[in-house]
């Protein structure tokens, strides 16, 4: 079953692209079919429907009714394994 992931950052360009590519690589490595799209954090409310996971590179406190993982590790290189584990917990569910 295809999992849908939204990757959000402030501008929907630089950091979300890096994180989105890392998530695609992770899903491929784990054999999980995934559709990854990108948006700005301020667009999440309108794009959250039918999404399995939201990954942000910006701080988000709002509850969208969808699991949210802070993906700054993909940018900083710190705690990548823990972030990947959180993402896989949702995608394998």
Q: Is 9 a catalytic residue?
A: yes
Exposed, middle or buried by CB within 10 Å (0-12, 13-18, 19+), for 83?
Answer: buried
Cβ-contact 70, 15 below 8 angstroms: no
Catalytic residue among 7, 9, 51, 53: 9
Enumerate the active-site residues. 9
């Amino acid at each position: 079953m295809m999992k849908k992931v939204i990757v959000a950052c402030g501008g929907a360009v630089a950091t979300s692209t890096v994180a989105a590519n890392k998530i695609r690589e992770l899903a491929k490595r784990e054999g999980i079919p995934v559709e990854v799209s990108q948006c700005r954090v301020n667009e999440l409310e309108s794009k959250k429907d039918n999404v399995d996971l939201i990954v942000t590179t910006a701080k988000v406190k709002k509850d969208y009714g969808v699991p949210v993982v802070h993906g700054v590790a993909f940018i900083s290189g710190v705690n990548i394994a823990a972030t990947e584990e959180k993402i896989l917990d949702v995608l394998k569910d």
